[in-house]
Amino acid sequence: MSFSVPGFHLRSHRLVRVAAIIGLLVVGSGRASAQDPATPAPPAPAANLPAHTRWVIAADYTTDGAQLLTSGGESLLYRPGDAAIWNPADGNRAGDLAGHPTAVWAIKASNDGKLAATAGYDGLVKLWDLPGRALKADLKKHKGWVRSLDFSPDGTKLATAGEDGTVVVWDTGTNAEIRTIAAHGGPVTAVAFSPDGATLATGGGDKLVKLWDVAAGTEKGKLEGHADTLWAVAYSPDGSKLATAGADRVVKLWNTADSKEHGTLAGHKDWVTSVSFTPDNARLASASLDGAVKFWDVASKAEQKGPPPVEGAKPSSVWCVAVAPNGQTMFIGSHAGGRIVPVPSPELAPVPPPPPPAVPAFAVVVPTEFKSAAGATGAIAADGIVLVTGSLAKDVYTIKAIVPPGGSVSAVKLEALTDPSLPAMGPGRAGNGNVVVSRFAIQSGAPGSADAPNVVKLATAKADFEQGGYPAAATIDDNPESGWAIAPEVGKDHALTYELAPEVALPAGSVLLFTIEHQFADGTHNLGKFRLSLLQSPLPPAP
């Protein structure tokens, strides 16, 4: 199944995943719009923030903390969007910035609280008189999605970031374009002014963070290190640090004085969508589509305890996080609405438990040669399985193989396998499906040699099942009259495992010669189908 969505050029397979995550796109539904009569009317807006259950994609507090601005909508794409103003003290809705025909992906308030700006999925940017809730201007320049915007510290400029690869800087007094910057070789997904207003940081679908001289509009730096699309950039209040985050699931901190990386904060399990510093510059909050909000100590880069999940709430992809100017509360926005919660105290997060120890796994060896003393034929398959047919008498199989890349061999496993071509499904060639392995031995040769003159000492022999009087240990006792058998458990796969003596060293490339003897009196109890595998440490690479 594939999706094709007009305007989704930010690594289209990744943006389709955004839609897939939320179940937004329906194959064959076509492109909906605000003018589409089939699009249902949006529900009445919630009067209180806890009752607001629509998408919240972005959020911003006014500098005095008296107002909280949120944006989103009924979906992430073409349905009418929301831009709401809330009173953080009681959660009541204080007003709206209405008029976007598509989802509103970005919202910002100027530092002086006089202006607000919003941007929609359709590329429309709106500039607002915030106190009057009145539209000042529609800013139309971008072709496609506008993902991010930011005011300069003095409020005289607005920077908008577009899917078309450009950043447009606007004069908020005249609503005129100051300049357009061809910022990235792909969509521009994040933008932020430095606190002194001299630098503009941008992030893009090209995995780069770029720094721009605001006055000249020229590139002044490039920060490399992210492995996927950027989703957020943010300066610390004092301007000493820049935080960047994206689809590679990590947050990076940079020292703005020299543009050197301060550290990488790893721990999220999905795209990191938003970051926000605390007012004291000491901590950073990060939000992710994995549903988690994490806190980090900026100086030590250590993870701290994040806000606890809301009791009874369903897990939600988190699209934005904003720490309030007082540093005491924070807003978290998700696809199920948003909530204001206390900022957690600066305590280190508990150390995750160590992963369980790896369970040793055997790696199959594919024989290079099979010989039968009785003249039987052994067909060697690509997966290492050998199926024996032809002459049936007391027999000695010799199988040649090479130790694959990896550590020294510590154990060998011989699997006796069933097959429809064998009597009673086998794994033996006797009429009742039984098998008797009289002796199992291994010889070795140095890597690159043609012969295997060295006897490999086997310390133990164990089996998943042993017929009475026919134990696994009998295959290494040098008595040809004894052996291992499986009746009445025929018609099933079985395995013999041999531990090598501690002093044995079989490095990668060693030549191995396996001997499997069948000396049972009737000359029919021979292996019909089998496979050999080795236990190495470390494990060899997967084929």
Lowest average pLDDT, out of 345-349, 353-357, 389-393, goes to 353-357
pLDDT at position 80: 83
Ramachandran assignment for 269, one of left (phi > 0), alpha (psi -120 to 50 degrees), beta (any other): alpha
- In this predicted structure, what is the pLDDT of residue 142? 94
Q: What percent of the chain has pLDDT over 70?
A: 89
Summarised one tens digit per residue, pLDDT across range 466-500 is: 999 999 999 999 888 899 999 999 999 999 999 99
Average pLDDT over residues 520-526: 96
The span from the CA of 117 to the CA of 108, in Å, is 5
Q: Identify the residue with better confidence: 144 or 397.
A: 397
Rounded to the nearest integer, the mean pLDDT of the chain is 89
Per cent of the chain over pLDDT 90 is 79
Look at residue 12 and tell me whether its pLDDT is greater than 60. Answer: no
Domains (range + CATH), the chain:
363-537 (2.60.120.260)
Q: Report pTM.
A: 0.65
Q: How far apart are CA 497 and CA 526, in angstroms?
A: 18
310-340 pLDDT, tens digit each: 655 566 799 999 999 999 999 999 988 999 9
Region 351-365 average pLDDT: 80
| Per-range mean pLDDT, top range of 79-88, 254-263, 353-362 | 254-263
Three-state DSSP string of 209-250: EEEEECCCCEEEEEECCCCCCEEEEEECCCCCEEEEEECCCE
Task: For residue 462, give both structure tokens.
Answer: 């164990």
Q: CB–CB of 61/68 below 8 Å?
A: yes
pLDDT at 39 over 50: no
At residue 28, does pLDDT exceed 70? no
Whole-Å CA distances, 491 to 155, 317, 381, 531: 81, 51, 21, 16
What does the pLDDT average to over 107-112?
98
